[in-house]
Structures are given as structure tokens and as C-alpha cells.
């Protein structure tokens, strides 16, 4: 290949990286979190570094066979996996990831440009799938697109009686306006992203306070008590529940 053409290709890739970074950076005034699983540590680090350079936060997920606690507890905005390496069956692995991710975007990457791999991923429930060779800008652009669509769709959270407007930070239950300060709103929104599934205290500390360790305080318990007083008091049935040994759960409907 002529030197000039190679140089043009490198310039285009760098321009694509900058454009993707710009798109992602405009998505939110906080760092959105991508949960990343790739069975090869070196590839995971390369991909994670590119995502972080684009202005996102990255949470590396462990092997799911070692336990799903980190997967289930993650308050991430997008889940990115490569299910095509190792012993796992790709279709079932993507279905598992779809279950863990709930309504959040699921992007599947393959380390080869394979139509079969993409069809398996999409057939199992992925929102998008791409072959990853050296096309990091395309992957970042797809992440940005999924997050943009997700934020539009996620502008409204809640089911049944509960409605949460993430843009205006407005909460209603059964048509009644509930005014919440920032921390309580963020607690409710994170619980509402995974309705009927418990979130641990540690997961809420990471998601709401950005704390990766136990500070030895009862801040979660205090704010949950205040949140209960506003969301449940005066209504016919409680939405917010403590799940012993597991954390807290938002029940979306009356039993």
C-alpha cells in the first residue's frame, strides 16, 4: 500500500475516534458506565482504554462462572461482551447477558468479522453486534448510538403507578407529584432501572455516591428510610423493600 494511502487511513481512524469521543461526551454531564466482559485480558484492556478515552467509565466484569454478583449488581448504562471465546456457548451466553442487562443496551463484539457471529448475537437478544478487528472508532460510534437511543427511551422510567422523568428529575406515583432531593432521586432511579431485582448496598454506594468501598456509615439506610417515607407513605401498598442479605428492591406492581 502506498505510504500516502496508509497515512490517510490512519488519519481517518483518528478522526473517527475523535468524532465518537465527542458524541459520547455530549450524552451526559456525568460519566456513563460501560460494563465490559472480554475473556482475553489484553484485548479487554485495549477496548477498555479506548472507551475511557472517549469519556466513559469502564467496569471490567469477571468470568461469569465465578459468580454473577458483579454482573447483577452493576449499575451500568451499557453492557459490552464478547461471548465467542472460551468454552461458553455463545447463544446462551448472550441470553444470560440480556437477562442481566434488562432494558439497558447490550452490544456484542466478536474478534473476527463474521456474519454468523453477528446473527447469533442478534438472534439471542443483543441490541447490536460488530466484528472487532482494528475498527475501534466504529465500536465507539456504536456505543454512542446505543447510549443515545437508550437515553431517549430511558427518559421515562417506572411501571404501574410510578413514573420517573430523568430529564426533569420529576417523580409521580399514581398521579401524585413526589419531590425528591438529588441522592434520593438517584437511589430511586437506580432501583427503577432493574425493577423487582434487589440491588446491594455496595452497588448503590457505587452508583449514587461513586464510592468503591464501605465507608462504615449508614448513609444508604438513612436515605432509603427518607425515600420510603415519600414514595410509600399514604399509598395502598409499599414499593420499596429490604431484601435480607441482598439489599433493596423496587417492586413494580402489587402482588
CATH number at residue 36: 3.40.50.2300
CATH number, domain containing residue 172: 1.10.10.10
Last residue of a domain, one of 153, 172, 207: 153
pLDDT of residue 3: 44
CA angle 24, 26, 30 (to 5 degrees): 85
Asked whether the beta carbons of 96 and 64 are under 8 A apart, the reply is yes
* Chain-centroid distance, C-alpha 198: 16
pLDDT of residue 26: 42
Do residue 136 and residue 34 come from a single domain? yes
Do residue 139 and residue 25 come from a single domain? yes
Do residue 160 and residue 149 come from a single domain? no
Do residue 57 and residue 102 come from a single domain? yes
Do residue 119 and residue 193 come from a single domain? no
Q: Is 70 helix (H, G, I), strand (E, B) or coil?
A: helix
Last residue of a domain, one of 128, 153, 178: 153
Name, in order, each residue with C-beta under 8 angstroms of 8's C-beta and a sequence gap of 6 or more.
Answer: none
Q: For residue 71, which of 104, 122, 121, 37 has the smallest C-alpha distance?
A: 37
Q: For residue 193, which of 172, 162, 214, 222 has the smallest C-alpha distance?
A: 162
Residue 255 lies in a domain: no
Do residue 142 and residue 172 come from a single domain? no
Do residue 148 and residue 162 come from a single domain? no
pTM: 0.62
Residue 185 lies in a domain: yes
Do residue 161 and residue 148 come from a single domain? no
Domain tally, the chain: 2
Residue 97 lies in a domain: yes
- Using 70 as the pLDDT threshold, list the residues of the chain that sit under it: 1-30, 151-154
Asked whether the beta carbons of 249 and 159 are under 8 A apart, the reply is no
Residues counted in the chain: 255
Do residue 23 and residue 72 come from a single domain? yes
Going by the DSSP 8-state scheme, the letter that residue 199 receives in this structure is: B
Do residue 19 and residue 97 come from a single domain? yes
Asked whether the beta carbons of 171 and 164 are under 8 A apart, the reply is yes
Do residue 175 and residue 240 come from a single domain? yes
Q: Is 134 helix (H, G, I), strand (E, B) or coil?
A: coil
Domain that residue 211 falls in: 156-250
Complete DSSP assignment for 108-120: EEESS--HHHHHH
Do residue 68 and residue 126 come from a single domain? yes
Last residue of a domain, one of 122, 153, 184: 153
CA angle 198, 75, 244 (to 5 degrees): 20
Residue 134 lies in a domain: yes
Residue 113 lies in a domain: yes
Amino acid at each position: 500500500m502506498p505510504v500516502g494511502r496508509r497515512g490517510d487511513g490512519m488519519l481517518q481512524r483518528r478522526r473517527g475516534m475523535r468524532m465518537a469521543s465527542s458524541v459520547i461526551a455530549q450524552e451526559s454531564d456525568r460519566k456513563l458506565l460501560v460494563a465490559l466482559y472480554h475473556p482475553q485480558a489484553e484485548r479487554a484492556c485495549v477496548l477498555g482504554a479506548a472507551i475511557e478515552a472517549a469519556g466513559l467509565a469502564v467496569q471490567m466484569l469477571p468470568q461469569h462462572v465465578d459468580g454473577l454478583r458483579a454482573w447483577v449488581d452493576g449499575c451500568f448504562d451499557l453492557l459490552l461482551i464478547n461471548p465467542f471465546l472460551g468454552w461458553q456457548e455463545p447463544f446462551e451466553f448472550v441470553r444470560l447477558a440480556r437477562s442481566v442487562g434488562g432494558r439497558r443496551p447490550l452490544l456484542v463484539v466478536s474478534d473476527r468479522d463474521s456474519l454468523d457471529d453477528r446473527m447469533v448475537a442478534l438472534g439471542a437478544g443483543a441490541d447490536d453486534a460488530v466484528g472487532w478487528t482494528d475498527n475501534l472508532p466504529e465500536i465507539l460510534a456504536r456505543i454512542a448510538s446505543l447510549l443515545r437511543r437508550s437515553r431517549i427511551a430511558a427518559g421515562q422510567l417506572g411501571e404501574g403507578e410510578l413514573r420517573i422523568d430523568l430529564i426533569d428529575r420529576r417523580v409521580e406515583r399514581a398521579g401524585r407529584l413526589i419531590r425528591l432531593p438529588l441522592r434520593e432521586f438517584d437511589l430511586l432511579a437506580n432501583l427503577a432501572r432493574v425493577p423487582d431485582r434487589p440491588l446491594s448496598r455496595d452497588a448503590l454506594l457505587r452508583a449514587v455516591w461513586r464510592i468503591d468501598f464501605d465507608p462504615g456509615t449508614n448513609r444508604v439506610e438513612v436515605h432509603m428510610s427518607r425515600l420510603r417515607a415519600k414514595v410509600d407513605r399514604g399509598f395502598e401498598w409499599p414499593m420499596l423493600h429490604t431484601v435480607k442479605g441482598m439489599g433493596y428492591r423496587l417492586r413494580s406492581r402489587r402482588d
